[in-house]
Homo-oligomer: A and B are copies of this chain.
Amino acid sequence: MQKTNTQSITITPDELFNHWQGHRRLTRKVIEAFPEDKLFTHSIGGMRPFSELAMEMITIAGPGVLGMVSGEWKNFDEVESEFTKKKPTTKKELLNLWDSITETIDEAWPKIKEGRFQESELVFETYEGKIWSHLFYFIDNEIHHRGQGYVYLRSLDIEPPYFWER
């Protein structure tokens, strides 16, 4: 494609913050929509139950935003095993952990330095790319797995929350 309007603003940092937290609010509603037992057990085609998918989102988002601020990243397996130690076993615990990550993001976001999104960095000792591309991956991965949660809910005859309600 032709190069064009390269410096034109697409989405501002504030808009990106609200976009992310909006998606996270919707995912929280999906967690809430699951019956307590199905949240931890229901599966289709050998896939992980929704609690596990939510734990992945939590593990990425919390350490992810802190790394975006500090430039310091642990190996993802290490981060994951830390979260596994405090793995919630009830919906309430999972929602509490979710909410604590929401606060982490609220507090960390304003500390992200000017120009940071266009810096390239190796994150979680695994993925190289610009900071925006990592954040987009975090968000996209959440949308992807949440979409799977919608199928789980439908298969349980439960109406999921509206996709556009953030």
Q: Which residues of A contact B (CB under 8 A)?
A: 1-17, 19, 23, 44-47, 106, 109-110, 112-118, 130, 132-133, 136-137, 140-141, 143-148, 150-157, 163-164
A15, B151: Cβ atoms under 8 Å?
Answer: no
Closest to A153 in B: B45
- Given contacts A13-B10, A155-B45, are A4 and B110 in contact (CB under 8 A)? yes
- Given contacts A47-B154, A137-B164, A147-B145, are A9 and B112 in contact (CB under 8 A)? no
Select which of B5, B11, B106 is within 8 A of A114 by beta carbon. B5
A117, B11: Cβ atoms under 8 Å?
Answer: yes
B11, A11: Cβ atoms under 8 Å?
Answer: yes
B137, A5: Cβ atoms under 8 Å?
Answer: no
Chain B residues, CB < 8 A from A147:
143-148
Q: How far is the CA of A2 from the CA of B153 in the complex (A)?
A: 36
Given contacts A5-B113, A6-B12, A146-B147, 11 further A-B contacts (CB under 8 A): A2-B110, A10-B12, A10-B16, A10-B117, A10-B132, A15-B133, A19-B136, A45-B156, A143-B143, A147-B148, A148-B150
Closest to A105 in B: B1
Chain B residues, CB < 8 A from A4:
13-14, 109-110, 112
Chain B residues, CB < 8 A from A150:
144, 148
A44, B155: Cβ atoms under 8 Å?
Answer: yes
Give the top 4 A-B pairs by smallest Cβ distance, nearest first. A147-B147, A45-B154, A144-B147, A2-B110
